[in-house]
Each structure stands twice: as structure tokens, then as C-alpha cells.
Amino acid sequence: MATGDLDHEDEQAGQLISGVLHDARDLAVAEVDKLKAEAITQVRSAGEGAKYVGAGVLMIAMAVMMLGVAIACGLAAAGLAWWLALGLVAIAYGGGGAGLLRLAQDRRRRVASSAVPTLS
């Protein structure tokens, strides 16, 4: 076996390995580009969903306000002074909101305390 043949075979093996590495790099770049495109698509669709959620929350808030006015008008028609009717509805809404905030705070504390690691 001549040493010239070994050098030629080593050169071919080096070119083969270089080609494989080049192809692997190209494949990795293509996969990263594909993942980026998928992530951008998901973010855009989530943004669309957030728009609809925001619009829905706004409409629900408007409906709750209108319900409060209707209740106040009903109380005023029943004989209460209009200012007293509006005040009672505001107190009821404020109490409901405070209760919901307290409930959320209690749940947050419960989740935070269950996430703390124990030393056993």
C-alpha cells in the first residue's frame, strides 16, 4: 500500500465529514427558522384572542354598570330617593368587589404557601 493512497483516502474522508457537518448545520438553521416562524404565528393568534377577551370584558363591564343603573332606578321607583338608591347600589357593588379581591388574595396566599419547599 502506498502512502499516496492513504493521503487521498484521508482527504476524501475529511471532505465527507466536512460535508456532513455542513449539511447538519444547514438542517439546524432550517429547524430554528421553522420554530421561529411557528412561534411568531402562535404569538399573533394569541394577540388576536387577547383582543377578543378585552372586548368581551369591556362589554361585560358595561352590562354590569347598566344593571346597577337599572337596579337604582327600580329602587327609586319603589320610593327611595335617587341618591339613596344609587348609594345602595354602589355599596353593594363595592362590597362584592372587595369580597372578590379578598378571595383572590386568599387563593394567592394558598398557592404561594404550597409552593414553598419544606425542610423534611
- The residue with cell 338608591 is 85
pTM of the full predicted structure? 0.52
> What is the per-residue pLDDT for 77?
94
Whether the Cβ atoms of residue 56 and residue 68 lie closer than 8 Å to each other? no
Which pLDDT score is estimated for 114?
Answer: 79
- Give the separation between CA 15 and CA 21, rounded to whole angstroms: 10
Question: Domains of the chain: which residue ranges?
Answer: 13-113
Q: Provide the residue-wise pLDDT of the chain in tens; the chain has 120 residues.
A: 555 555 666 677 778 788 888 888 888 888 888 888 888 887 777 777 788 888 888 999 999 999 999 999 999 999 999 999 999 999 999 999 999 999 999 998 888 887 666 555
pLDDT at 15: 81
According to the model, what pLDDT value does residue 29 have?
85
